[in-house]
Every structure is written in structure tokens, then in C-alpha cells.
Structure 1
């Protein structure tokens, strides 16, 4: 058994926790999409399956990136930041569509997790210092 003498900094712990929370939330959306695909009366099946697969893949990617970051894999930081920055246009278009109550928190979440991932303690923990 090995004991890591250098604990995971709070910024990295929070980033991982938020990435995992996003993965769970997107997994719930994927489950709803699967149910919707199975119970829809008429649909463009190909498009429905692609959207569902995208949600499942996104949830899996977020979960895996969280795991890689907690193991201090520096290569996981850039893809995690890219996924967080993808929340910005999604949030913007939600605001434009009248869903500001959901769009603003998504933008804040994307910027917040990105900030945690580029903070000095996280940089040191991932070996970027």
C-alpha cells in the first residue's frame, strides 16, 4: 500500500467533484433520452439515437476525466476544460431562448470549473509548475 504524502488540493477536489456531478446530471438526461426513444410514437430514429449516444458519451467522458484528474493525470486537464467551455454557448443560447434560470448557472459552472482547473494549486498538483 502506498500513501500519497501530498494531498489533493481543494481546487482539484472541487473540480473533480463538479465534473462527476455533471456526469451524473448528464447521465440522467441520457436515461430520459433512452426512455423517450423507446416510448416515442414517431421520431427520426437516426437523429434520436445520435443525440442519445452523444449524451451517454458526454457523461462517460466527464466521469472518466474526473477519475483521471483525481489520479493527477495532467493530460486530462485540457479535455476537461474544453468540455467546460462548451457550456458557455449552451448557456448563452438557453438565455436567448428564455431559459436564463438554467443558462446563467451553466455559464457560471463552466467558468468556475475551468478556473479551478487552471488555478495554481491544481497546476502544482498536476505537475505544471
Structure 2
């Protein structure tokens, strides 16, 4: 959205002006799907504890807690992307973390799931670094040192 002055024309530009690009929505949906999967893994871990199918309850509770915290963080990134906030660096970093996950899944006799993890990493990084996404959130704009304008 631009503010205008009768004599000068457009005097301010805001990075979030206009409609949300589809790349931003798709990246947010990917993060929400990941959050749903991690939350489901946490619930499954708690169910394993209740059924008594774990060796150490403390370790299983810790893994379930980490899954829930990861789900909360991915949900937060997805929400911030939909609000068109600049979380591109976090999104790219989290996308790149799926590369070693894919490698270890392939090494653990799950080649299809490993390749899917690599595809997920490529999709997240590609969507987050695409031109429409970067322009919508104002990623890469030069700002004065200290962030205040």
C-alpha cells in the first residue's frame, strides 16, 4: 500500500503491499503439514508410552516433547509466512535441515522416504527464495543499521 502526497506522488512503499503470492501460501501450507506430522508423531509417542511399548518412559516423553515443540515452531513459521512477515531465513534454514534427514532415511533402507525428504527441502527452499515471496515480505531490502527507519 502506497501513501501519496498531492505534490510528490507516492512517498512511501511498504514491502507487504498487494496480494499474497501463491508461493507464500504454498510455503506456509508445507510448514503446517510438517507441524501436523510432528504433532501426530508426538501423539503416537505418548500412545506408545500408555501401551507400555517403550523401554524408558523418560526418553519417550522427551522425544514426544521435542516433537510437540518442533510442531509448534513449524506452525509459527507457517503463520508468520501467511502474515507476510520476514521469516525467510528461518524457513530456508529449516528447509535445508531436511537434506541430512533424507540422507539418513535413505541409508536406513527407506529410499523413497529419503527422496521425499529431499523433495520437501527443495520445495521449501525454492518457495521461500522465489521472487514473489521475497518481494511480498521485503526480504533483502536495504535498511538502516539498527532496523529503525
Q: Same fold (TM over 0.5)?
A: yes
Distance in 2 (CA, whole Å) between partners of 1:82 and 1:105 is 18
Residue in structure 2 matching 1:8, options 20, 37, 43: 20
Which residue in the other structure is 2:43 paired with?
31
Give 5+ residue unaligned stretches, structure 2. Answer: 1-15, 142-149
Structure with the greater relative contact order (CA < 8 A, sep ≥ 6): 1 or 2? Answer: 1
Which residue in the other structure is 2:116 paired with?
105
After superposition, the Cα gap between the structure-2 partners of 1:41 and 1:31, relative to the gap in structure 1 and judged at 3 Å, is closer
Give 5+ residue unaligned stretches, structure 1. Answer: none
Which residue in the other structure is 2:147 paired with?
none
- Which structure's residues are more often helix, by fraction? 1
Deviation at 1:89, TM superposition (A): 0.8
Corresponding pairs, count:
125
Deviates more, 1:4-13 or 1:56-65: 4-13
Contact 2:35 2:71 in 1 (8 A): yes
After superposition, the Cα gap between the structure-2 partners of 1:42 and 1:103, relative to the gap in structure 1 and judged at 3 Å, is closer
Q: TM-score, normalised by structure 2?
A: 0.77
Distance in 2 (CA, whole Å) between partners of 1:112 and 1:42 is 35
Distance in 2 (CA, whole Å) between partners of 1:66 and 1:42 is 32
- Which structure's residues are more often strand, by fraction? 2
Deviation at 1:120, TM superposition (A): 0.7
After superposition, the Cα gap between the structure-2 partners of 1:5 and 1:127, relative to the gap in structure 1 and judged at 3 Å, is closer
Deviation at 1:41, TM superposition (A): 4.7
Deviation at 1:46, TM superposition (A): 2.2
Q: TM-score, normalised by structure 1?
A: 0.89
Moved over 3 A (4+): none
